[in-house]
Structure 1
Amino acid sequence: MKQTILKARTGYIALTSILVISFLVMALVFAVSLSGFFLRENILDSYAKTVSAKTADACAYLALLKLVQNQSYQGNETIAVDAESCDISQIQADDDELQINVSSGSMGARTRIFITLDADDLGLVSWEELF
């Protein structure tokens, strides 16, 4: 009778070990695949922010060029830069400074640049990315 009970219990430890090891391996595989998914999403977000920032920079330089070429330039326009677009807000004149706001968006990422110029010689006072 004791031999029958011992034979019935001999596979219990092996079966339990296999179940625990299988669960741990599945959890590890799930965690690794999920981290790969989020890594791709982070790379896409980083790319979108880079495109947005470069487009806003190009638009800001274009606004500065237009202002140097024509000092009565008022901004307030949307400009196409390659496949993206950016907005130049109306240029604000404040005492002896000019203020330019430029914004651009790409795939959900948005970049805003605020530029302050000296009104007399159009020298750059500040160039800030707003968050």
Structure 2
Amino acid sequence: MKALVTLLAAGFLLSTITAGEPPAAKLKLQAAEVNFLIGLNSENDGLKTSSAYNLGELQSQKAVIPLLKMLRNDEKECNRIMAALALYKIGDARGMNAIKQRIRFDKCERVRKMCSTLYAQYLLNGKSENV
């Protein structure tokens, strides 16, 4: 429960930060990122998916490896889909390659379709030179 409250508070703080961040705001942003990374390891699926989403919004490079693990190994399809979305938002070549592989190898049709949609959008945006 404390972790959920902490993540909600971090999300609120994140939403109030602007482009011209003062040093204190950068520290809060870094703290939020750390909390979201911790949230990825939670047993609570809501906390896990919201953490993945927020790390994607932050375009956190630190989150790429944990999100890759989540995309490949998580048992729940909703968690794998959220990991794919977060990796798409981050735009890292490793993440996009993993999304491309999930199109062929994921056991769930819903995950394959979502990964296909995300990868097609990635190609339409002209970002295919990194993959």
- TM-score, normalised by the number of residues in structure 1: 0.26
1 or 2, which has the higher helix percentage? Answer: 2
Q: Return the TM-score normalized by structure 2.
A: 0.26
